[in-house]
Structure 1
């Protein structure tokens, strides 16, 4: 299983994470199940952004509203682990719904992608740069 992404889109997410070494950054991913076309940075509204993320609900609702009206499909989201590895944390697993969403996680200046295939469970997805 793999997901395609342009090096430009991935580089922008990596740069944003590097620019915020003390707090998790987050955003939405748009495209198809096999390809991330774009990424939209969102505000992290979590109570403790150094250790968790919560995408601004207004941004999430607006993205889904745009998709219903012909805009790009929301296929997942990204977030960073400023002091950790790019693997799902126990907190991430607790939030995973098993809906097939892509979770792109940035840590240690690298990114890895995961698909939520069951509540609390992930399968790694190879990132293919295009």
Structure 2
């Protein structure tokens, strides 16, 4: 099964990125099995947040603790490329771990990737999203 994210969640991420166009907005993709069911926005603590992102370590640790306690798993991360394209950069590839999902937003474009040992593989999104997601 291909990992999926709803149109609603993808749009929430796009709106967050549009609200802060001068910085790389970032957060975590949470879910169960193969489906992203929630996002967790995080502060970008990178030294230069206009050109890079680093998820606040406190948010990342709390999400992993919550997952160990039965909450949703951390499936990957999302971030924006304010002045770029919705494709992983060399910096993204250097930070990625196999199996992680990466959702990248640039302008109005939203793309979902999985990092495999050979590199990033694009997954269906938003065209592969659940159009009938009942969650707000």
TM-score by length of 1: 0.92
Q: How many pairs were matched up? A: 128
Deviation, 1:22, is: 0.6
> How far apart, CA to CA, are the structure 2 residues paired with 1:84 and 1:3?
25
Partner residue, 1:124: 122
- Are positions 1:4 and 2:38 aligned together? no
- Are positions 1:114 and 2:113 aligned together? yes
Q: Calculate the aligned-residue CA RMSD, in Å.
A: 1.4
Runs of 4+ with deviation above 4 angstroms: none
Partner residue, 1:81: 81
> How far apart, CA to CA, are the structure 1 residues paired with 2:33 and 2:92?
20
Matches within 5 A, 1:88-107: 88-98=88-98, 100-107=99-106
Q: Is the partner of 2:124 in helix, strand or coil?
A: strand
Give deviations 1:7-52, integer Å, cap 9, x for gaps: 2211110000011111000000011352110111000000000000
TM-score by length of 2: 0.89
Deviation, 1:129, is: 1.7
> How far apart, CA to CA, are the structure 2 residues paired with 1:104 and 1:52?
15
Matches within 5 A, 1:28-39: 28-39=28-39
> How far apart, CA to CA, are the structure 2 residues paired with 1:32 and 1:72?
6
Q: Is the partner of 1:2 in helix, strand or coil?
A: coil
